[in-house]
């Protein structure tokens, strides 16, 4: 009596079809996933700018002015010269870079108010579109 051998496993064609389907799904999902990462960086930058704004307001209440452009955000961590009523540090941790690893831009007096505080975005240069656009609080 002859026994038939059961064949187990997948054929090459079946494996190629599965790999093709996985590739199609990855091509459809990956761009959405990557754009969400960039959106998260914009949200994080806005949140950090809002936190800096709160610390800058506390500095102004104590000292009577915002830090100058030369003093920069570091004045929130270390007493600048001539700031006798400084009661900081106003931030618990060191001043971080923006989510794209560029320094935040702080100017006082600002072009749009008492100070300007923003990130140049992914490209680190003024202006730009999409992921490269400047990010400010709010």
Q: Is residue 18 part of a domain?
A: no
The domain tally of the chain equals 1
Cβ neighbours of residue 110 closer than 8 Å, sequence gap 6 or more: 116, 117
Number of H helices, E strands in the chain: 1, 3
Please name the helix (run of DSSP H) or strand (run of DSSP E) that holds residue 107, with its range, or none.
strand 105-107
Structure tokens at 98: 């923006």
**Domain that includes residue 65, residue range:** 44-136
Please name the helix (run of DSSP H) or strand (run of DSSP E) that holds residue 135, with its range, or none.
strand 135-136
Q: Is residue 113 part of a domain?
A: yes
Q: Is residue 1 part of a domain?
A: no
CATH number for the domain spanning 73: value is 3.30.700.10
Q: Is residue 13 part of a domain?
A: no
Residue-wise pLDDT tens for the chain (138 aa)? 555 666 677 787 888 888 878 887 777 777 666 667 778 888 889 989 999 999 999 999 999 999 999 999 999 999 999 888 999 899 999 999 999 999 999 999 888 889 999 999 888 888 878 777 888 875
Q: Is residue 22 part of a domain?
A: no
Measured from the Cβ of residue 128, the count of other Cβ atoms closer than 10 Å reads 14
Dist. CA 114–CA 131, nearest whole Å: 27
């Amino acid at each position: 009596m002859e026994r038939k051998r059961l064949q187990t496993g997948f054929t090459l064609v079946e494996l190629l079809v599965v790999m093709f389907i996985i590739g199609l799904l990855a091509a459809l999902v990956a761009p959405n996933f990557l754009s969400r990462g960039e959106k998260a960086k914009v949200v994080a930058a806005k949140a950090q700018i809002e936190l800096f704004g709160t610390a800058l307001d506390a500095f102004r209440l104590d000292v009577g002015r915002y830090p100058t452009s030369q003093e920069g955000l570091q004045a929130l961590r270390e007493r600048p010269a001539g700031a006798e009523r400084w009661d900081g540090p106003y931030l618990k941790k060191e001043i971080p870079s923006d989510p794209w690893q560029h320094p935040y831009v702080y100017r006082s007096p600002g072009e749009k108010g008492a100070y300007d505080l923003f990130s140049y975005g992914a490209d680190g240069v003024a202006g730009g579109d999409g992921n490269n656009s400047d990010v400010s609080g709010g």
